[in-house]
């Protein structure tokens, strides 16, 4: 891949990178087709609604957004809100067939989608995309895990051929053993085989490189459709197994138009009369908040994966998503976001510009318009199996382990959000996670006044460098104004920045991640970004992004006794290793051999002490062993100490001023 030239999504880029974007668009289409159908059905919408969403999103987002590699379309993360809205307006998600109640609920959900889309457009126009920075990552991941669990609970009965199953997520989780008892063996065979393909096909692709490019959803369709034909699902009939009678028929297949271009007959208009009900605005708020948050997070994640490190304008991208959602909901489509799985596949398939998204939509349009009868042969159980796998990915056990390694308090927030979402709804669950994190911060000594307002000082170091000194706290809830200050001084005024957090009581996990992101942003602009003072705070876990709290810090005291003539040279070497200060004491003494021989010679020595983190300590010892130990009389010893507070060397007028350790030192 030639990364020297940055591809641009303009007319010239359309022509220059056509072969790359066309191929990637086709491969993404193969993944998107079954997922769009499955997400629609799981959301309680007609299956064609997901196709409408992807087609509209691929056209409008390509023209408006500058997010080059994201794929717009329906996402599993919004299933919980969509089906909740449908059920609240009297629909049953078509579990008992399509009737007037389902149609009313569908039209009501479309009206809700229009309102949410208008909110998104205004959100982008008022440049509020930065609000995505507010939500703590543990709460967001807990929300996504809860969505995954809910998808699994609701799709297991579909994959097993159990009709009429419904209820709250926790209730359905308890009923999973019963679903297996009531399974239709033929349909369950399709569902189980499809699920096994979703799990094992990626492993096969790792061993056989030629199969790596074949997406597992396509393999599921290639296996499940013949299985459905073998069971003759196009015709209603019964069969007997183990003295039980089971029914088969078209109810287990995707309901699609029966003729070419019949999809246009399914265009459905919203019923805006429902907006007189308060619950419509509540659901619109949920679509807006969760959809916008997921879209922002996905677009930012894809920016990090972009081989050319292009940055999307998040406000512009949200306007594009909002306008696409407005048009999609107006013709009968699902809400859409920048979808992470298909976007990642887009990158892996070699896409160069946003026109890959356009091509994937064109392929979807051609497929559904020209061969709808083929799509009608897709078993619902196969689509449900794909969604069960998607839910498993969202709630993977490794998510719990990852959060645990970042910090116990992060796991508590993660689990609390997950449980509250399952027990109530998405908004209440996320709010519960946010409030818990705030409570933890307050218990760790963060003043309430500092929760939303950062207390910072700005100092000029030299002509090109500034220092921002943070006081009290640097946490997720006061990060947005903190970030704006960083961007204004650094990226707008084009100055190098030093962020000093040594005077804070806590720097939380979210801010630790954001500071890393800012360092990458500054590096891409050719600027320097340095964070100082983290060693004065104790990490709550071993993960580099774990929260850090004011406490006794574990440090290494390195004591070196050597000839006084080596002081300047040895101190300079230790500074290169990362030491920020030292203490020197003149002394005298003699070696053991001279004392034994009674010829002790008084030697002029110097005792050097460095208080440093473990990694710096190891580098100093390597230098001493390699450059001094076998040549000069050197004695070195290491002690582990707890430091009440330490402080980096400071810069004044370009000069380095060594600072000793200030505060109490407790021996170990």
Query: Does 463 lie in the same domain as 326?
Result: no
Q: Are residues 101 and 226 in the same domain?
A: yes
pLDDT band at 282 (very low <50, low <70, confident <90, very high): very high
Span 595-622, mean pLDDT? Answer: 81
| Structure confidence by residue, pLDDT tens digits, 349-408 | 999 999 999 999 999 999 999 889 899 999 999 999 999 999 999 999 999 999 999 999
The residue range of the domain holding 587 is 552-667
Helix axes 137-160, 509-524, angle to 10 degrees: 100
Confidence (pLDDT) at 654: 36
For residues 328 and 454, membership in a common domain is answered with no
Q: What is the reported pLDDT for 444?
A: 87
Residue 347 has pLDDT above 90, yes or no: yes
**What is the reported pTM?**
0.81
Q: How many CA atoms lie within 13 A of 339 on its CB side?
A: 27
Residues 565 and 543 in one domain: no
Nearest CA to 386 out of 62, 38, 25 is that of 38
Sign of CA pseudo-dihedral 130, 40, 111, 326:
positive
pLDDT > 70 fraction of the chain, expressed in percent and rounded: 93
Beta bridge partners, 73, equal 337
Query: Are residues 59 and 358 in contact, defined by beta-carbon separation less than 8 angstroms?
Result: yes
* Whether residue 261 sits in one domain with residue 181: yes
SS3 state at 548: strand
Per-residue pLDDT, 92? 82
Q: What is the mean pLDDT of residues 148-163?
A: 93
Q: Is the domain of 474 the same as that of 561?
A: no
Q: Which of 548, 582, 601 is the last residue of a domain?
A: 548
| One domain, residues 268 and 161 | yes
Residues 381 and 469 in one domain: no
Residue that wins the pLDDT comparison between 594 and 226: 226
CATH code assigned at 601:
3.30.70.120
Query: Would 67 be classed as within a structural domain?
Result: yes
Number of independent structural domains in the chain: 3
At 400-416, the pLDDT tens digits run: 999 999 999 999 999 99
Instruction: Supply the pLDDT for residue 72.
Output: 95
Report the C-alpha gap between 407 and 545 in whole angstroms.
9
Q: How much is the pLDDT for 213?
A: 81
Tens of pLDDT along 206-258?
888 888 888 999 999 999 999 999 999 999 999 999 889 999 999 999 988 87
Residues 293 and 234 in one domain: yes
What's the burial of 21, exposed, middle or buried (CB within 10 Å: 0-12/13-18/19+)?
buried
The pLDDT assigned to 222 comes to 95
**Confidence band of 659 (pLDDT split at 50, 70, 90):** very low
573 in the same domain as 492: no
- Average pLDDT on 151-178 reads 91
Q: Which of 548, 571, 596 is the C-terminal boundary of a domain?
A: 548
Q: What is the CATH number of the domain that holds 544?
A: 3.30.750.24
For 202-270, strand residue ranges (E) read 237-241, 244-248
618: three-class secondary structure by DSSP: helix
Average pLDDT, the chain: 88
Same structural domain for residues 109 and 161?
A: yes
The predicted structure's pLDDT at residue 647:
46
Q: Write down the pLDDT at residue 507.
A: 95
Does residue 6 sit within a domain?
Answer: no
pLDDT at 150 > cutoff 90: yes
Reported as a single tens digit per residue, the pLDDT across 636-649 is 999 888 776 544 43
Do the Cβ atoms of 58 and 318 come closer than 8 Å? Answer: no
pLDDT at 628 over 80: yes
**Would you state the pLDDT for residue 380?**
95
> Which residue reads 């799990």 in tokens?
199
C-beta separation of 599 from 547 below 8 A? no
Over residues 514-543, mean pLDDT: 89
**What is the reported pLDDT for 645?**
55
State residue 498's pLDDT score.
Answer: 94
Mean pLDDT over 310-317 rounds to 90
Let me know if residue 149 belongs to a domain.
yes
Is 80 exceeded by the pLDDT of residue 2? no
- Of 394, 424, 458, the residue that ends a domain is 394
- Alpha-carbon gap, residue 268 to 311, rounded angstroms: 36
Asked if residue 563 and residue 466 are part of one domain, the reply reads no
Mean pLDDT over residues 546-556, rounded? 82
pLDDT digits (tens, 9 = 90+) for 83-97: 999 999 998 876 666
């Amino acid at each position: 891949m030639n990364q020297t030239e940055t591809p641009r999504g303009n007319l010239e880029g359309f022509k220059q990178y056509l072969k790359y974007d066309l191929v990637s668009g086709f491969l993404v289409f193969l993944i998107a087709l079954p997922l769009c159908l499955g997400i629609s059905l799981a959301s309680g919408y007609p299956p064609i609604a997901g196709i409408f969403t992807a087609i509209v999103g691929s056209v409008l987002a390509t023209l408006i957004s500058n997010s080059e590699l994201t794929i717009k379309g329906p996402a599993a993360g919004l299933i919980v809100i969509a089906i909740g809205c449908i059920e609240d307006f009297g629909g049953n998600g078509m579990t008992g067939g399509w009737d007037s109640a389902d149609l009313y609920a569908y039209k009501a959900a479309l009206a809700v989608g229009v309102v949410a889309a208008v909110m998104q457009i205004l959100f982008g126009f008022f440049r509020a995309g930065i609000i995505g920075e507010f939500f703590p990552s543990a709460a967001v991941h807990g929300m996504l895990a809860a969505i995954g669990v809910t998808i699994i609970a609701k799709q297991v009965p579909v994959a097993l051929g159990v009709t009429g199953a419904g209820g709250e997520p926790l209730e359905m989780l308890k009923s999973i053993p019963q679903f297996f008892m009531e399974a239709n063996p033929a349909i369950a065979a399709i569902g189980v085989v499809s699920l096994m393909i979703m799990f094992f096909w990626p492993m096969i692709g790792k061993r056989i490189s030629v199969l790596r490019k074949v997406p597992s959803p396509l393999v599921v369709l290639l296996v499940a459709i013949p299985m459905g034909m073998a069971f003759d699902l196009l015709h209603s009939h019964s069969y007997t197994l183990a003295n039980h009678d089971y029914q088969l028929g078209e109810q287990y297949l995707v309901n699609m138009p029966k003729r070419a271009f019949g999809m246009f007959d399914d265009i459905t208009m919203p019923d805006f009369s429902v907006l007189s009900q308060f619950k419509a605005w509540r659901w619109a708020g949920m679509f807006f908040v969760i959809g916008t948050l997921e879209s922002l997070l996905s677009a930012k994640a894809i920016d990090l994966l972009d081989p050319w490190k292009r940055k999307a304008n998040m406000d512009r991208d949200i306007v594009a998503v909002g306008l696409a959602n407005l048009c999609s909901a107006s013709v009968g489509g699902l809400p859409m976001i920048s979808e992470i799985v298909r976007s990642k596949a887009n990158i892996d398939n070699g896409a160069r510009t946003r026109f890959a998204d356009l091509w994937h939509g064109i392929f979807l349009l051609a497929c559904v318009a020209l061969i709808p009868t083929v799509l009608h042969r897709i078993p619902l159980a196969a689509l449900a199996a794909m969604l069960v796998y998607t839910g498993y990915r969202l709630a993977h056990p490794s998510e719990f382990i990852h959060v645990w390694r970042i910090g116990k308090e992060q796991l508590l927030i993660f689990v609390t959000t997950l449980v509250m979402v399952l027990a109530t709804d998405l908004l209440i669950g996320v709010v519960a996670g946010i409030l818990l994190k705030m409570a933890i911060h307050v218990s760790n000594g963060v003043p309430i006044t500092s929760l939303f307002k950062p207390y910072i000082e700005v100092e000029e170091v030299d002509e090109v460098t500034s220092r921002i000194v943070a006081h009290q706290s640097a946490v997720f809830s006061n990060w947005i104004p903190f970030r704006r200050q960083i961007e204004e001084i650094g990226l707008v005024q084009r100055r190098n920045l030093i962020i000093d957090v040594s005077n804070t009581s806590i720097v939380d996990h979210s801010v630790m991640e954001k500071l890393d992101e800012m360092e990458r942003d500054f590096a891409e602009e050719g600027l320097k970004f340095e964070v100082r003072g983290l060693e004065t705070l104790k990490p709550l876990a071993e993960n580099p992004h774990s929260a850090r709290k004011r406490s006794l810090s574990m440090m290494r005291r390195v004591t070196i006794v050597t000839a006084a003539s080596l002081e300047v040279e040895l101190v300079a070497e230790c500074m290169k290793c990362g030491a920020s200060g030292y203490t020197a004491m003149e002394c005298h003494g003699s070696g053991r051999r001279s004392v034994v021989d009674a010829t002790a010679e008084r030697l002029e020595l110097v005792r050097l002490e460095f208080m440093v983190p473990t990694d710096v300590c190891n580098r100093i010892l390597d230098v001493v062993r390699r450059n001094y130990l076998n040549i000069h009389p050197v004695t070195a010893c290491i002690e582990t100490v707890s430091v009440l507070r330490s402080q980096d060397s400071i810069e004044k007028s370009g000069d380095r001023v060594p600072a000793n350790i200030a505060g109490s030192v407790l021996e170990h």
